[in-house]
């Protein structure tokens, strides 16, 4: 009898697991509409299956269908009130909806967002994503409706106890948001020291760019390249060089290296590298060379708005 039951239920288990894998693969491929179709059918066939409900909520969330995502995540919370991740997802969907409605409607939602995140944090003392959400929530909310830098830093401290790099990044974020760039710089540098991920370098780079410190930005990107050897960093150096009219030889060299080694995984389309090379030649007042590169960009994408505008500037040299 036991062998019969195993034979009977194993195919069903395998089938459901294969659907879960398929939906997650579709998420990775950003094929969210297809993922929603499969998740919706899966949830209809398994109305009490929490994983089916969660996947459908995720499919809606990826498409920014916040009302639909909220409905699914609310089912999860109502069914299993002790699951921190369900509260976190519910609060996240509510928070995203609050960003899209008018201020008066948002005020009515914020309390539920906060309650969901605080519940998740209490249920799981090691839930990193929830603490990040609370860091962002408290630093972004105006004080009159519960915003608090002190509370934001409290959850950054909790993050630091769980993960040094997350704690340092959170504190860098708080101080950058609060217009304290020197303190933000300190914590982003600490994050690089203990973590050294591309995210850590990117946060410091963007801080320097926002503070109009392009030399430091380029030095940071070079440090990231030395550690990670990722081709897209060549583009980033060229971008800063062309934006700020500095280290043009280095910017040109890096952009050409980016073009030579370009692949889809680099993220930035190759026409943007041509656009940046055109900017560099414009800075040098080399009109013909600038036109050569901007035309290469427009040959790839004729509706490239920024390139069209740049060509007008080049022609006026």
Of 87-101, 116-130, 138-152, give the lowest mean pLDDT range.
Answer: 138-152
The predicted structure's pLDDT at residue 8: 35
CA distances from 296 to 107, 277, 303, 315 (A): 49, 10, 13, 15
Of 92-106, 263-277, 287-301, give the lowest mean pLDDT range.
Answer: 92-106
Domains of the chain: 231-317 (1.25.40.10)
Return the structure tokens found at 96.
């995203």
pLDDT over threshold 80, residue 286: yes
Q: List, for residues 3-60, the tens digit of each pLDDT value.
A: 333 333 333 344 477 888 999 999 999 999 999 999 999 999 888 899 999 999 999 9
CB 275 within 8 A of CB 241: no
Q: List, for residues 211-230, the tens digit of each pLDDT value.
A: 999 999 999 999 999 999 99
What is the spatial distance between Cα 238 and Cα 221, in angstroms, rounded to a whole number?
10
- Our measurement of the distance from residue 215's CA atom to the centroid of its chain's CA atoms, rounded to an integer in Å, reads 25
The predicted structure's pLDDT at residue 144: 62
Whole-prediction pTM: 0.85
What is the spatial distance between Cα 32 and Cα 14, in angstroms, rounded to a whole number?
23
Tell me which DSSP letter residue 215 carries: H
């Amino acid at each position: 009898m036991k062998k019969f039951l195993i034979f009977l239920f194993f195919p069903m288990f395998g089938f459901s697991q294969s659907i879960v894998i398929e939906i997650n693969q579709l998420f990775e491929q950003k094929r969210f509409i297809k993922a929603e179709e499969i998740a919706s059918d899966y949830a209809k066939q398994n109305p009490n299956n929490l994983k089916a409900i969660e996947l459908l909520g995720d499919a809606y969330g990826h498409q920014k269908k916040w009302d639909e995502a909220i409905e699914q995540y609310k089912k999860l919370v109502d069914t299993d009130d002790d699951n921190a991740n369900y509260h976190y997802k519910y609060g996240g969907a509510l928070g995203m909806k609050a960003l899209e409605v008018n201020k008066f409607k948002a005020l009515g939602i914020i309390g539920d967002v906060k309650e969901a995140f605080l519940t998740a944090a209490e249920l799981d003392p090691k839930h990193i994503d929830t603490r990040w959400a609370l860091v962002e929530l408290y630093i972004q909310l105006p004080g009159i409706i519960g915003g608090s830098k002190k509370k934001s830093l409290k959850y950054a401290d909790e993050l630091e106890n769980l993960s040094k790099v997350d704690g340092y990044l959170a504190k860098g974020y708080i101080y950058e948001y609060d217009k304290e760039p020197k303190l933000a710089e300190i914590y982003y540098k600490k994050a690089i020291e203990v973590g050294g991920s591309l995210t850590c370098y990117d946060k410091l780079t963007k801080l320097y760019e926002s503070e109009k410190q392009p030399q430091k930005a380029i030095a940071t990107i070079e440090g990231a390249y030395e550690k990670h050897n990722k081709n897209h960093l060549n583009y980033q150096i060229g971008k800063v060089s062309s934006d700020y009219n500095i280290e043009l030889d280095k910017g040109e060299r890096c952009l050409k290296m980016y073009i030579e080694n370009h692949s889809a995984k680099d993220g930035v389309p190759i026409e943007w590298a041509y656009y940046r090379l055109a900017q560099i030649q414009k800075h040098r007042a080399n009109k013909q060379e600038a036109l050569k590169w901007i035309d290469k960009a427009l040959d790839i994408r004729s509706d490239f708005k920024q390139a069209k505008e740049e060509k007008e500037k080049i022609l006026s040299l």
